[in-house]
């Protein structure tokens, strides 16, 4: 099966700043391909280069079988794009936005009517078709934007942090839609900084400081962390991180909600040493146990292995 997206040494510089640094990867047809990384990692810049919105400084991107640099018009016909900020027309109604993008993608007549009805149904906007888009809730806006992006039924869909700012329920519903598209054969290229969303992807590309630091299935990425991971519960996580960070047995100490996650060299030594360090620092050790790594832990571990600090 041909690749939906094929990227070779893609680079984008803004002056001295390298936003995307020699990134290469392939995305298979029908795949949900996740792009994970903190803000400023280069996710959006990469997506803009793949959708023909930004010229690469170097490298090549093939999307839907066409070189983005040379055949940008054909590429744009074959992709749907939803940008990070909501960017439909707020002063148009729901229906007017759909009709506009229908016209821009050459979807007219009976097909437009059918697609419009499908979008209204999918986004739950059937009763709000004549409302101004500005008046809609964020969740609704995002589903409408998704609808407009897939109005012409493109084989590839680019979603740049589509769920940022929406509540967890809307987010879950949004991902149900993404699964539906993928099952229908659409390739979905989605960026996010929500770690739990990354779990939904077939494959994940981890980006940090413009570089691709890992690319694999979520379960395999988790397996890539060989060192034991401990979760510590204490009365003062911030001070605990301070106290443990420089200890030789600890590779990485990071706050994780109310808990502290510790990547350690040796499980047994750590189980002995950590409570003692805490006690001498006047901190309580409420619980300490080995846990399986989450994607965030994987990310932190991989960034450490690369010898850098994550952006953001």
Partner 1 sequence: MSLTRLLAISRKELLQLRRDARSLYLAFILPLVLLVLFGYAISFDIRNIRMAVLDQSRTPESRELIESFAGSGYFSVVEHLETPADADRALGSSAVRLVLIVPPTFSADLAAGRGAIVQALLDGADANSATIAQNYAEAIVSGYSTRAVARGRRVTLPVTAESRVWYNETLESRNMIVPGLIAVIMSIIAAMLTALTIAREWERGTMEQLAATPVHRLEIVIGKLVPYVAIGLFDVALALSVGVVLFGVPFRGNLLLLGLLSLLFLIGSLGLGIFISAAVKSQVLATQVAMLATFLPALLLSGFIFTLATMPIVLQGLSYVVSARYYVAVTKGILLKGVGASVLWQDALAMVVFAVAGLAMAIGVFRKELA
| Residue 156: partners with Cβ closer than 8 Å, 6 or more residues away | 4, 5, 63, 64, 78, 79, 80, 186, 187, 188, 189
Query: Which C-beta is closer to partner 1: that of 156 or that of 215?
Result: 156
**Is 21 in contact with 43 (CB distance < 8 Å)?**
no
Query: Which C-beta is closer to partner 1: that of 39 or that of 108?
Result: 108
Q: Does 168 bind partner 1 (CB under 8 A)?
A: no
Site string for partner 1, 62-91 (x = CB under 8 A): ----------xx--xx-x-x-x-xxxxxxx
Question: Exposed e or buried b for every residue in 103-116, given b needs 16+ CB within 10 A?
Answer: eebebeeeebeebb
Query: Which C-beta is closer to partner 1: that of 101 or that of 181?
Result: 101
**How many CA atoms are closer than 13 Å to the CA of 155, on its beta-carbon side?**
16
Query: Which C-beta is closer to partner 1: that of 42 or that of 52?
Result: 52
Contact region with partner 1 (CB under 8 A), list: 33-41, 47-55, 191-199, 234-242: 47-55
- What order do you get walking across the sheet with 211-216 strand by strand? 79-82, 156-160, 187-192, 32-36, 203-208, 211-216
Query: Which C-beta is closer to partner 1: that of 148 or that of 270?
Result: 148
Q: How far is the CB of 109 from partner 1 (least distance, A)?
A: 10
Q: How far is the CB of 55 from partner 1 (least distance, A)?
A: 7
**E strands of the chain, at which residues?**
3-14, 17-28, 32-36, 58-63, 66-67, 79-82, 156-160, 187-192, 203-208, 211-216, 229-234, 250-256, 259-264, 285-290
Query: Which C-beta is closer to partner 1: that of 55 or that of 245?
Result: 55
Q: Does 211 bind partner 1 (CB under 8 A)?
A: no
Among 34, 37, 52, 293, binds partner 1 (CB under 8 A): 52
Query: Which C-beta is closer to partner 1: that of 100 or that of 281?
Result: 100
Residue 118 CA: distances (Å) to CA of 46, 92, 136: 30, 19, 18
Among 2, 103, 165, 308, binds partner 1 (CB under 8 A): 103
Q: Does 140 bind partner 1 (CB under 8 A)?
A: no
Q: Does 104 bind partner 1 (CB under 8 A)?
A: yes
- What order do you get walking across the sheet with 58-63 strand by strand? 17-28, 3-14, 58-63, 66-67
Q: Does 105 bind partner 1 (CB under 8 A)?
A: yes
Q: Does 111 bind partner 1 (CB under 8 A)?
A: no
Residues of the shown chain interacting with partner 1 in the complex, contacts defined by CB under 8 A: 51-53, 55, 72-73, 76-77, 79, 81, 83, 85-92, 96, 99-106, 108, 132, 145, 148
């Amino acid at each position: 099966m041909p690749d939906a997206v094929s990227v070779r040494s893609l680079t984008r510089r803004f002056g001295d700043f390298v936003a995307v640094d020699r990134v290469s990867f392939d995305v298979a047809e029908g795949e949900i391909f996740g792009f994970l990384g903190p803000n400023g990692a280069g996710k959006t810049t990469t997506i803009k280069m793949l959708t023909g919105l930004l010229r690469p400084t170097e490298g090549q991107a093939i999307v839907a079988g066409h070189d983005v640099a040379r055949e940008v018009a054909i590429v744009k016909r074959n992709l749907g794009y939803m940008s990070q900020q909501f960017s439909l027309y707020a002063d148009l109604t729901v229906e007017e936005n759909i009709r506009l993008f229908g016209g821009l993608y050459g979807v007219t007549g009976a097909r437009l009517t059918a697609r419009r009805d499908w979008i209204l149904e999918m986004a739950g906007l059937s009763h709000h078709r004549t409302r101004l888009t500005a008046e809609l809730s964020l969740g609704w806006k995002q589903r409408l934007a998704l609808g407009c992006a897939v109005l012409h039924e493109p084989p590839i869909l680019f979603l740049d942090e589509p769920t940022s700012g929406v509540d967890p329920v809307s987010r879950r519903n949004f991902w149900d839609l993404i699964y539906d598209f993928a099952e229908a054969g659409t390739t979905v290229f989605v960026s996010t900084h929500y770690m739990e969303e990354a779990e939904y992807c077939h494959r994940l590309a981890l980006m940090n400081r413009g570089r691709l630091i890992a690319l694999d299935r979520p379960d395999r990425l988790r397996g890539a962390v060989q060192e034991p991971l401990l979760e510590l519960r204490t009365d003062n996580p911030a001070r605990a991180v301070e106290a443990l960070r420089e200890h030789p047995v600890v590779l990485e100490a990071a706050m994780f909600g109310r808990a502290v996650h510790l990547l350690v060299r040796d499980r047994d030594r750590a189980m002995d040493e950590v409570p003692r360090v805490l006690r001498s620092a006047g901190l309580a050790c409420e619980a300490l146990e080995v846990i399986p790594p989450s994607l965030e832990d994987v990310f932190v571990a991989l960034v450490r292995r690369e010898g850098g600090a994550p952006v953001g």
